[in-house]
Chain A
């Protein structure tokens, strides 16, 4: 793929500043080369000069070439036609006689002459593909480098002509046209130099580079406008003939080098784009220089890296096409029947009933290429070459075990395997058909018969997908052998090669430490790493695009891999990302129609829907909501300004993606006496941010007072933990831990990791991601102290610092307290607060009654009375709830049951708990 190249060693002419020309005349120092790259014993330069005359000249000469060639073709053909005509006239009678051919004649002279001309035409056409017009072949014997000191223009002038390579000759027609177009763009704007940005600005006009620009998700019209604005703003118009600048020369030469390193015959546009995207690596731009192309890219929320990745993508697809051709050529020799080419094998009728021939399927091109699994193939080959032991691939669902089998089948079909596997076939046993319709002993019999066939045939590698499915199939009585044991015995006799797959879970359950285990060597198939996963997606995107008539941008592919790896648990790359792509493609086609480019945002939307995590860009409506978060929360929370603003700020940080990715969205410790709104605030956050008061995982830590209770949180053995399982299933939630001071100290230690790294490993060894949770812990520790001090009039700040430094030390270790984003002290409620709360509670009752069609309100005096009755500094707002229940709810219930309150009635609560009912007018 795209490797980093070491910096190139350019020699730039100081007289013409690398442009090769001074006032339209070739520079006499560098002979018009401007910039050369000294490469081994050659110098490379860009030899094409653009001006109006030269462009016209090119057009004319290429036309003349076509005319000359067509003339030759016509003349060449005319002789044959003439002969055909003459033969037709006398019914080909004379053609058959020797006499005719040995008698000299003018028409035969013409005929043979035209055949000579045909040979000449053949030569001319062949010349167009001559090495002169191709990229140099990569040699593995390195020629001597040019001596260091000799790299000056005088020496270069004296060099042999063959050692001076004009790279422009190796460019494809399309690439040359693109460079010409960039010159024309400069001319159009009256710029006297052609810069990289001119070249960048014309890329979308040419198919092969337009794909790259399109995949980057850039809208052509936008790009066109931005480029022309940028060009007219940042470059001074000065009429004259535009010349290629030093950096353009360097870009073009490094594009050539790119093709050289990739062993391409021609330099095409993807290489040019790649050279544009690597300005620093190839020494095109100095570190502190302003980079026009980058500015434009940044404006589109892109960068050079993404551009390079897209080039890699385009190249992968090209290579796939090339490989397919090569594969088809080589797989042609694979026999269609089960017999090998050497005819040593025998037919396997029983096996054929219960299996499918993967090599045969591969031969007919039914599989996708397998990417990024070289290491696994090496391991498989090593084991198979070393012994006849079976190979067991252990990997999770979706990591690509089946794809590895298919990849192996492909390599076997094209005989790209070690000798021991050559001229063999990979046959996959189908367990379902094996056991269908018979009992266990019948299946065992089938298995034994098949095994003897396989052993006799000798050209079969037996593949068993989901080996664990053999487990547990027995004929019933305790002492009888199960299917798994029978297979284990067969496999351990090493009569043939076996290749099986299973998942880690099933391996632990059904295979580990049993007879099957001993017969196999294990290979762990890990989840693909991000870059390989992206490459797989790039490969697999083709058919999805074709089916749905849409196109993926690079951002969509990248987002699918990134987001699914981060937010979709329990599934594995690349499968889960492929599914996302499929869903997005269908959705985009349904909503926007065909021929649309799928952007990263579309993918984010789908993942958001699947996970309920907001991943899309913040919309106007949402940003308003976020900016007014405090007001939103205060609709159901009274006072506690500090706590509310702290929470709101951390939520905003999280949504604007400014937080560190590796910690929970927010982790807060709420301190304060009971009933002051700690839980209420947590609920408000859940409602405002997660859309639902219930999107909360609530754990009462008083249930976890002993050390043994850790296992309930994180699980043990086969059991999942309460906490880890809840977060795994719902990674985007608010975690509320009540009365944290009551938990055992070891449990608090467990939380250190969660708060710091945002992850926790459960008993099954799975890592659970906490980075999308908001963690709120509440504690009553020091409540008495808070009450006393606030009553004395100490400021909250002082109370807090004393609490953390003194009071809390009895309960928590300092490093635990340090891990929180914020420790919030909740003030005891004042009378004023309680009145406000009473208002809120009455509102809630009114809302409930509204559903019954009854209007309910309370006079201020009545509310004050309620607050008075429900106010207890020790218990916060809790007694208030009881008071309201006793005085309001109960009395309302009585009235409703008695039938005194009907629809459209007005009920007003008055002092003394009196309910005044205003009956509505009858209709």
Chain B
């Protein structure tokens, strides 16, 4: 702010912007940071769908592959597509699980680290 004089400004810079800042980050981690991590998870999942073209395959389940419009073609296509969709869906499931794990990793990381720090200070004794 303009009205602050240079001394107040410097004090604020040292205390708030640097010292307090270092302690403030866990709060950020579970608020703004959490929102970001969620958003990231969403994009990852959508991207997975796009890579695998899963919705596209489901939509075309009854459309014969390679323009084989005779009844044999239709039957073979249907099963081919079904198998394809199942495989793709499985991969997609793994994909979702993977992004969930990454998200959970984000959630637990600070707690895990703090626990480890305290544990290694021998505060809890040897747990195992």
Contact = CB atoms under 8 A, between A and B. Distances in A.
B25 A456 contact: no
Nearest to B28: A123
Contacts of B127: 102
Nearest to A21: B2
A119 B117 CA distance: 14
Contact of B50 (A31, A333, A345, A346): A333
Contact of A32 (B3, B25, B67, B116): B3
Contacts of A458: 67
Contact of B53 (A26, A31, A32, A342): A342
Given A31-B2, A343-B66, A116 B120 contact: no
A841 B69 CA distance: 93
Given A64-B18, A119-B113, A344 B3 contact: no
- Interface size range on B against A: 35 or more
B122 interface: yes
A123 B33 contact: yes
Given A109-B120, A112-B113, A119 B25 contact: yes
Contact of A119 (B29, B57, B65, B66): B29
A57 B2 contact: no
A863 to B, nearest CB: 93
Interface in B60-101: 60, 63-67
B114 interface: yes
B63 A116 contact: no
Interface in B34-70: 50-51, 53, 56-57, 59-60, 63-67
Interface in A85-117: 102-106, 108-109, 112-113, 115-116
Given A20-B2, A54-B6, A342-B60, A104 B121 contact: yes
B119 interface: yes
Contacts of B65: 343-344
A658 interface: no
A37 interface: no
A148 B21 CA distance: 40
Contacts of A831: none
Given A102-B128, A119-B110, A49 B67 contact: no
The majority secondary structure among interface residues of chain B is helix
Interface string B2-22: 110010011001000110011
A808 to B, nearest CB: 80
Contacts of B57: 342
A775 B84 CA distance: 79
Nearest to B25: A123
Contacts of A31: 1-3
Contact of B60 (A57, A124, A344): A344
B121 A109 contact: yes
B109 interface: yes
B70 to A, nearest CB: 12
Contacts of B51: 333
Contact of B109 (A61, A119, A344): A119
A116 B121 contact: no
A53 interface: yes
Contact of B63 (A103, A344, A456, A457): A344
Interface string A908-922: 000000000000000
Nearest to B22: A120
A26 B117 CA distance: 49
Interface in A63-99: 64-65, 68
Given A123-B28, A342-B57, A116 B117 contact: yes
B28 A105 contact: no
A68 B3 CA distance: 27
Nearest to A102: B128
A345 B53 CA distance: 16
A341 interface: yes
A57 B76 CA distance: 75
Given A112-B113, A116-B113, A49 B2 contact: yes
Given A31-B1, A342-B63, 12 more contacts: A53-B6, A57-B9, A64-B18, A104-B126, A106-B120, A109-B117, A119-B109, A119-B113, A123-B24, A126-B33, A341-B53, A456-B67
27 contacts: A26-B2, A32-B2, A48-B2, A54-B6, A57-B6, A61-B13, A68-B18, A104-B120, A104-B122, A109-B121, A112-B116, A112-B117, A112-B120, A115-B113, A116-B114, A116-B117, A119-B110, A119-B113, A120-B22, A120-B25, A123-B28, A124-B21, A341-B53, A342-B63, A344-B60, A456-B67, A458-B67
